[in-house]
Structure 1
Amino acid sequence: MFDLAVGNSGLTLDAKMQMGSKVIPFKIPKSSKEFVRFQVDAEKHFYDKLHQHPEWQLTMILEGRGQLMVGDYLGRFEPGDVFLFSANMPHVFRSDPEYFDPQSDKLSLGHTLFFDFEALGKGVWEVTEFFPLQQWLHQTKGCYALEGGIKELVGEQLRVFDSKQGWDRLMATFGILQRLQDSKSLRLLNRLTPLRDFTESEGKRMAQVMSFILAQSHRNVQLQEVADVAIMSKEAFCRFFKERTGKTFTEFLNQIRIQQACQLLLETDLSISQIAFQVGFQNLSYFNRTFRKLGGSTPKEYRIKLLGI
């Protein structure tokens, strides 16, 4: 999986997306006394709005591909990936364009556990056996990709979790949490967590802007178009966007396009010039310069390194 992200692999997206606790609040359909909720998402595409919720989330992708945006991270998701989100992390699994095509037979499938630690009550944290869990919850902030053996173990449990009921379900839940606590194979995806709260209207505006950019990045998108989506002047939008992403609109758009180009370089036999124009670049030389700047190599070198061709 290629990432435009902070970390040891892929490109760097050091955007400071300080999406606060009111970025499209999302209510998980569960009772207030329910600690864990298992959910199956089986649709053409995943929920495509930037959102957040107070519950922790553990998601395994069984079918479907696309882009994951969370905090300052922008990367790919694909079948087999397992992600852990701490509470109130703005995120969206944006399925690839073909999943929105009504003529396509592609489907998306994900298994998710939502953990509501508030439902356990404050008294549980006074129990000695729960001290390690409480400490881990305080220390673990952001979005993590599970890797290696822990991904396989947790993935297998998520595949069969719906078959468990009552006490068995509760024990399975704590078993998963214990494995997550003990694992050294949780890779932090986002560097920055939200630093301030924005109003709900600001959160919805940012979600609309991000959805528009992701959907339209393949063509020559004008700044005025995006400002119109935000219902702002160009000048006001530029300030709004830079404050929330740490990037200009053009810088952010180019990073999305380069990530899409990397996917095409690996998954198709299209020429480099065809890929450049398909992802939205109007000039091949500019595409090559931007790719080298963000990825440290030319598109040709990238393809040769990963595919050996």
Structure 2
Amino acid sequence: MFEKIEHMNEVSSDEGHITISLNSYEKAFTDVQQILEFTSISLVVEGSGHLHIEDQVIPVKHGDMFIIPSGIPHTYRPHSRRQDHALVVYKCLFNAEILRDWKALLPVGSKMVEIVYKPDKCTDRWLHYEDRHNIFFEMVQKMYSEYLKRYTGYEALLVSSLVQILVMLQRAAMNSENPTTINKMEEIIQFIKCNSTQNITVQEVAENFYLSSSHFQRLFKRTTDSTFTQYLQNIRVQKSCELLISTDIPIYQVANQVGYLDMKFFHALFRKKMGITPSQYRKNQSR
């Protein structure tokens, strides 16, 4: 069930209307997904819960920030109906038209440009960031205050603050040497190694680290130069090699212990990675 939102309060200016609004929401457990006709920047400022977006459910907590283009059904919900499980979200809604004169400030072909100006052509359905140092929280809070007070010139401040947020988010996304990114990838890789024998999926790992699947896969590929599936297969084959050398258990048990029940697939994968069959590998190592 979706609720389609096509209108919102507009900020008036001398030249007409600037389509932008700032709101703070305490989300309810029963909230339905909304289809907005505006680009949305949302920031979780209190509590934790889930972002229900299209057919995905993403765990969220304080500091999670999402840019969601128009037409994508989504809503936030707390973990439960209990009052002590509050989930508060700041949301900025805007029409890309108000940023037409600022487009040159963002790198051509960047995900930010695509998600804001060409959402129908963007391969990513949304963008996710983490505000670990409350930098964006302070900026959004000031925007919200300006929106409520509406002092003289607040329209210009809202738009300039929005541009500043987009530029800073794009800068953060381009900074592949960000220590936060490196630390998170180290945690992710360790998690995969510890759980490689389990039936783990991209979606499960991404949700465990509060990332969207698309963002996780881009980050993982950029860091390891391999896909999640390739990396997991390499770990499992490496472990199977260790078992083949150090034990005399049957090959089907080796396959089972590293996470494969399909023996035909295991044999094909092992031969692809190692160039020989598991039995040949064991025989060669025992010489």
TM-score by length of 1: 0.43
Q: Which has the higher contact order (CA 8 A, sep 6+)?
A: 1
TM-score by length of 2: 0.46
**Larger of the two Rg values belongs to structure:** 2
